[in-house]
Amino acid sequence: MVTEAADLLFTNVRLATMVDGVGDLQDAALAVRGGRIAWLGARRDAPPAAVIHDCGGAWMTPGLVDCHTHIVHAGERGGEWEARLNGASYEDIARAGGGILSTVRATRAAAEDALLHQSLPRIRALLAEGVTTLEIKSGYGLTLLDEAKMLRVARRIGTVLPVNVHTTFLGAHALPPEFAGRADAYIDDLCDRMLPALAAEGLVDAVDAFCERIGFTHAQTARVFAAARRLGLPVKLHAEQLSDQDGAALVAAYGGLSADHLEYLSPAGVAAMARAGTVAVLLPGAYYFLRETCMPPLDALRAAGVPLALATDCNPGTSPLTSLLLAMNLACTLWRMTPLEALRGCTVHAARALGRSDIGTLAPGMRADLALWDVARPSDLAYALGARPCRLVVHGGAPRAPEIDLH
C-alpha cells in the first residue's frame, strides 16, 4: 500500500506490463506521481489520487517505442518505387544517383522550418498509434550544416510534440557527390570535423552507419565507430540488409546498442550479438517494400537469446511506413514472429535498443509513458490491419488524445 496521494490514477484497467512476457495484471490500477509510475497493482489496493480515470476494463501497455526511423526528410520517391516495379533494383537506382541521394538533394534544398513541417504529419501518424518515444536519424544532409539542420529539426520535434526523441547521426549513410571516388576522405571529414562539431552542440545521442556495398565498408564503419567511442557516444549499425558485410559482429565488438535489418546475418554475427548484448532491430517494412525474400535468421536469434526489437524504418525509399502497428503485423505475417514477440519488440526491447531502462515496461519508477487500447487482447494490436485502436496516450504523466491537432 502506498499512502501518499498520486497525481493521477488509472483504475479498472488491465495492464500488459511487459515484465516477463506480457505481464498480464487484471482488474488493476496504476498510479502516476511526478511523471513516473508510482505504484501498480490490484485495484482494491490503489492509493488515493487527485484525478481518477476509470479505464472501463481496457488494456494498457507501455507507450510504444519506434527505435529506428529516418522520418525527418524532404521530398518523396514514389517515382522510384514505380521504376522498381518496372524492373530497376534498389541498388541500380542508387548507383544512378537516385535513391538516398535524391532525398539528400531535397533535404539540402529545404529550409529548416520547411523540413520540420514536411516531417510533422508522419510523426503525428506514429503518435496517433500510441508511440511515445521515437528515434530519428540524420543522413540526408551529408554536410556539417545539413546534418546539423536535420538533427535540430529532430530535437525540435521533441519540443513541439509530446514525444521523447533520440537523435542518431547517420553521416555515413551515402557518399555525398562532392566526395565521389573519395570515400575515405569523406570518412576522415566525418570523424575529424562533422561528428565532433555535432556532438559538441548536443545534437547526437548515438552514431549509426550504412555498412553495405552501396554504403560504406567494414573498415570505414570501424573508423566511424572509433570516432564515436572517442566522444563517448553509443553506436548502432545498418547491418546485413542487402549482403553480409560482417557488420553485426563489428557493432557488437563496439558494445553497440543494436544491429538493424539483419536479413543476411550469419551465424557468427548472431553469436557476436548475443555475447555483446546487442539488440536485433528488425525492420519488416523495408523487407516488404523491397520485396526481399531472405528473412532475418529469427530462429537463430531466438536460440541465442538476442532481444528482438521492431521499428518502422520510416524513410522515403525503402519503407514509407508510418504505422508501428502495421510493422508488428508485417513481422508476424511475413516472418511468423508471435504477436507477443512483436509487442515486446515495440516496447521493452525497443527501449533497450535505445539504451533506455526507464521506458518500455510498466513498473514503479518507470516514466509514465502509457497507451490505452480498444482491443480484446494485446495480440490484437498486431492483428487488425489499419485499425486505430489507441484510445488515450500518457506522455511523462500527461494524458493526451491519440490524434494531435497542430493547428
| Footprint of ligand DI6 (CB under 6 A) | 70, 99-100, 103, 173, 210, 238, 241, 286, 313, 315-318
Residues near Fe ion (CB under 5 A), total = 1
Sequence-distant (6+) residues with CB within 8 A of 230 are none
Shortest distance, CB of residue 389 to ligand DI6, whole angstroms?
A: 28
Q: How far apart are CA 369 and CA 354, in angstroms?
A: 15
Cα separation, 361 vs 372, in Å, equals 14
Residues contacting residue 222 through CB under 8 Å, at least 6 positions apart? 250
Nearer to ligand DI6, 245 or 315 (CB): 315
Distances (CA, A) of 35 to 68, 109, 181, 349: 25, 39, 51, 22
Tell me which residues in 302-341 interact with Fe ion (CB under 5 A).
313
The kind and range of the H/E element at 352 are helix 348-353
Query: Which residue, 326 or 362, is less far from Fe ion as judged by CB?
Result: 326
Comparison of 106 and 346: residue with beta carbon closer to ligand DI6: 106
Nearest to 241 by CA among 207, 292, 314: 292
Site for Fe ion contains 263 (CB under 5 A): no
**In the complex, least distance from residue 368 CB atom to ligand DI6, rounded to whole angstroms:** 33
C-beta nearest to ligand DI6: residue: 317
Within 10 Å of residue 118's Cβ, how many Cβ atoms? 18
Dihedral sign from CA coordinates of 273, 274, 278, 281: positive
- Report the partner that residue 316 touches, choosing among Fe ion, ligand DI6, none (CB closer than 5 to 8 A by kind): ligand DI6
Q: Closer to ligand DI6 by CB, 10 or 287: give it.
A: 287
Which residue number, 189 or 313, has a Cβ lying nearer to Fe ion? 313
> Residue 330 has which C-alpha cell?
508485417
Residue 99 or 397: which CB sits closer to ligand DI6? Answer: 99
- In the complex, the smallest distance separating the C-beta of residue 304 from ligand DI6, rounded to whole angstroms, is 24
State the nearest-atom distance from the C-beta of 42 to Fe ion, in Å: 43
Residue nearest to Fe ion (CB): 313
Q: Which amino acid is at 268?
A: A
Choice between 139 and 389, CB closer to ligand DI6: 139
Q: Which does 99 bind (CB under 5 to 8 A by kind): Fe ion, ligand DI6, none?
A: ligand DI6
The answer to whether 354 touches 67, Cβ cutoff 8 Å, is yes
Residues 6+ apart with CB under 8 A from 161: 120, 123, 124, 127, 404
Residue 168: name its binding partner from ligand DI6, Fe ion, none (Cβ under 5 to 8 Å by kind). Answer: none
C-beta of 238: minimal distance to ligand DI6 in Å?
4
Q: How far is the CB of 372 from Fe ion (least distance, A)?
A: 30
Site string for Fe ion, 266-305 (x = CB under 5 A): ----------------------------------------
Please tell me the distance from the alpha carbon of residue 148 to that of residue 164, in angstroms, as a whole number.
19
Contact residues for 74 (Cβ-Cβ < 8 A; gap 6+) = 103, 106, 107, 109, 110, 114, 115, 118, 140
Q: What is the smallest separation between the CB atom of 229 and ligand DI6, expressed in angstroms?
A: 21
CB of 281 to Fe ion, least distance (A): 9
Q: Which is nearer to ligand DI6, 68 or 395 (CB)?
A: 68
Q: Where are the alpha helices (DSSP H) in 161-297?
A: 183-189, 195-200, 218-230, 247-253, 267-276, 284-289
Nearest distance from C-beta of residue 301 to Fe ion, angstroms: 18
Sign of the C-alpha dihedral computed for residues 184, 107, 139 and 143 taken in this order? positive
CB of 154 to ligand DI6, least distance (A): 16
- CB nearer to ligand DI6: give 10 or 90: 90
Please tell me the distance from the alpha carbon of residue 61 to that of residue 147, in angstroms, as a whole number: 34
User: What's the first-to-final CA gap in the chain, in angstroms?
Assistant: 43
Rounded CA gap, 308 and 63, in Å? Answer: 17
Task: Work out what residue 133 binds among Fe ion, ligand DI6, none; the CB cut-off runs from 5 to 8 Å by kind.
Answer: none
- Partner touching 241 among ligand DI6, Fe ion, none, CB below 5 to 8 Å by kind: ligand DI6
Residue closer to ligand DI6, measured from CB, 12 or 143: 143
Positions touching Fe ion (CB under 5 A) are: 313
